[in-house]
């Protein structure tokens, strides 16, 4: 029997609010772990996490996304 994966709730996009950063990072850690083999390299994980950014956070992160 294979490993059972738990379906995680949708992650709210992060706008750059400092008080919500820890919760966002915790959720993203579990989401990336769940994706497993689909996100092989650190660059894959970073790019995937970047998809959940909006507003100030995306503006700050955008140069990193274009490098990847």
The structural domains of the chain, with segments of one domain joined by +, span 18-67
User: Does residue 5 or residue 19 have the better pLDDT?
Assistant: 19
Which pair of tokens denotes residue 41? 């390299």
For 22, 30, 33, the CA distances from 36, given in Å and listed in that order, are 21, 10, 5
The reported pLDDT for the residue numbered 1 is 60
The phi and psi torsions of 35 (rounded to 5 degrees) equal -70, -25
> What per-residue confidence (pLDDT) applies to 37?
78
Question: How far is Cα 14 from Cα 36, in angstroms, rounded to an integer?
Answer: 22
Render pLDDT for 6-50 as a digit per residue (tens, 0 to 9): 676 788 899 999 999 999 999 999 888 888 878 889 888 988 999
Asked whether the whole model's pTM tops 0.85, one would answer: no
Q: What pLDDT does residue 53 have? A: 95
Residue 59: what pLDDT?
93
- Could you write out the three-class secondary structure of 5-33? CCCCCCCCCECCCHHHHHHHHHHHHHHHH
């Amino acid at each position: 029997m294979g490993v059972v994966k738990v379906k995680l709730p949708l992650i709210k996009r992060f706008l750059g609010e400092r008080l919500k950063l820890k919760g966002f990072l915790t959720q993203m850690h579990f989401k990336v772990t769940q994706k497993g083999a689909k996100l092989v390299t650190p660059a894959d994980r970073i790019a995937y996490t970047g998809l959940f950014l909006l507003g100030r956070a995306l503006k700050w992160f955008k140069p990193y996304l274009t490098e990847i």
